[in-house]
Amino acid sequence: MELEQIWEKAVALLADEISAVSFNSWIKPIKAVSMTDAKVVLCVPFGVNRNMIMTKYFSLIESCLEMVTSKKRTIEVIVSEDMEEENRDPLQKESTLNPRYNFDNFIKGKSNEMAYVAALAVAETDSPSKAYNPLFLYGGSGLGKTHMLHAIGNYYLENYPKRKVLYTTSEKFTYELVTAIREKTNQEFRNKYRKVDLLLIDDVQFFAGRELAQEELFHTFNALYDSDKQIVLTSDRLPTEIPQIEERIRTRFSSGLSVDVQPPEYETRMAILKSKLQAEYLQVDDDIVAFIAENVKSNVRELEGAVKRIVLYAGIKRTSLITMDLVAEAIADLMKNQQKRRITPQVIISEVEKYYMLPSGSLVSKKRSNDVVLPRQVAMYICREILDDPSFPKIGESFKRDHSTAMHGVGKVKKELDENSDLRSVIDEIITNIKRD
């Protein structure tokens, strides 16, 4: 039987199990994409569809599929928005400025004021001051760094339409470089990056460990800087905190102005929510907006997520009356995310991997290369320092090792800490990350 037929039959079974409204909202939009012996991949249009399926319909769909095919398979749900993003040619991906991101729709507040002022100053001038070059914007995810980067480019082009602006990400830069080397088009690559008036590079933390790209970036940077062209960079952390990056690049990154973007405080959250709700033509009472601002706190992307959900729920319920109940229902998932997660060895391991930009699973793997040994010991040390039950056998077990290895690892870090004060700040930062989420 073809997958299409199988899915049709499963859908017919599902229709009997759930209400028509839920069926239309959540089951109908699903497309079956592929099937193997072990799993069926389903595709849905939005993240909220996926959440709904994962929380409410997951096992029901699995059993219906099993009934049709007489074989137990798990399902995987992917979101088509993400799929488009991934399938797009990486060279095309974000190669241009996004006009949706501008200064007019960027809400200022205490948390981003410094960054905003610096970004606007850079965008307004065609003869950059060395004091602002490069401008280095850093801060957590979803706080508006990419937005500001595009806003700088858009604003600058409005004032200086003949100038050349290039927006790129560290990943795209690396990808293009590798392609250029393979296809022997290095010169074109160089011209493209060294003949611009304003270079915007997003997420430079991902240059970590990419030596070839760093080498090229170094020369690109110097060429632009020496001819007084503005460079703006973003990162999730300060240059000094990016691991595996050459010292000379770190120095260049830090040589201008570094400004951080903080998570929005209450007033800014209120202002952002009001502006985004208004953009959706929704009128919502202030006390309801306040309820959202009190419950969704971590970043702007989540605030936008809340607004999108409210729009969607209002659509499903065919109402334009936004009540407290509707909002509470719409953002229930988001509110759950805000609750503090319990700190387990796995949480620590995954934060340490993230910090050192190692693939997930590296620390519990058998690998003993230099790039994982210290991070693994650091993770063991943090387990010892912050877990409720930090016995060595427990720690060892979490890393698929015995207690003596855990003891040795923790001891190593302790010793290193006596001599190396940078390591203390690294560990403190990781602990902050662990406690923040």
- Residue 220 interacting with Mg ion (CB under 5 A): no
284 binds, among ligand ADP, Mg ion, none (CB under 5 to 8 A by kind): none
- Residue 143 interacting with ligand ADP (CB under 6 A): yes
Query: Is 177 within 8 Å of 189 (Cβ atoms)?
Result: yes
Site string for ligand ADP, 81-120 (x = CB under 6 A): --------------------x---xxx----x--------
- Residue 230 interacting with Mg ion (CB under 5 A): no
Minimal distance, residue 148 CB to Mg ion, in Å: 9
142 binds, among ligand ADP, Mg ion, none (CB under 5 to 8 A by kind): ligand ADP
Minimal distance, residue 209 CB to ligand ADP, in Å: 21
Q: What sign for the dihedral angle of Cα 93, 95, 96, 99?
A: positive
Q: What sign for the dihedral angle of Cα 60, 63, 69, 71?
A: positive
Minimal distance, residue 140 CB to ligand ADP, in Å: 7
| 3-state SS class at 166 | strand
Minimal distance, residue 341 CB to ligand ADP, in Å: 20
Site for ligand ADP in 273-312 (CB under 6 A): 300-301, 304
- Residue 341 interacting with ligand ADP (CB under 6 A): no
Query: Is 135 within 8 Å of 122 (Cβ atoms)?
Result: yes
Which residue carries 């299409």 as its tokens?
A: 4
Tell me how many residues contact Mg ion (CB under 5 A): 2
How far apart CA 26 and CA 53 sit, in angstroms, is: 7
Site for ligand ADP in 186-245 (CB under 6 A): none
- Residue 270 interacting with ligand ADP (CB under 6 A): no
Total residues belonging to the chain: 437
How far apart CA 43 and CA 57 sit, in angstroms, is: 14
106 binds, among Mg ion, ligand ADP, none (CB under 5 to 8 A by kind): ligand ADP
Closest CA to 311 of 40, 334, 186, 319: 319
Minimal distance, residue 200 CB to ligand ADP, in Å: 12
375 binds, among Mg ion, ligand ADP, none (CB under 5 to 8 A by kind): none
| 3-state SS class at 428 | helix
| 3-state SS class at 338 | helix
In SS3 terms, 278-297 reads as HHCCCCCCHHHHHHHHHHCC
376 binds, among ligand ADP, Mg ion, none (CB under 5 to 8 A by kind): none
Task: Please list, in sequence order, all residues whose beta carbon lies within 8 angstroms of the beta carbon of residue 240, skipping any fewer than 6 positions away.
Answer: 250, 254
From start to end of 313-423, where are the E strands? none
Minimal distance, residue 426 CB to Mg ion, in Å: 23
Residue 342: DSSP 8-state: P
Looking at the Cβ atoms of 7 and 203, the one nearer to Mg ion is 203
How far apart CA 116 and CA 137 sit, in angstroms, is: 10
Site for Mg ion in 114-153 (CB under 5 A): 145-146
Looking at the Cβ atoms of 10 and 107, the one nearer to ligand ADP is 107
Minimal distance, residue 218 CB to ligand ADP, in Å: 24
Q: Could you count the other beta carbons within 10 Å of the beta carbon of residue 134?
A: 25
- Residue 235 interacting with Mg ion (CB under 5 A): no
Contacting positions for ligand ADP (CB under 6 A): 101, 105-107, 112, 141-147, 272, 300-301, 304
Residues near Mg ion (CB under 5 A) are 145-146
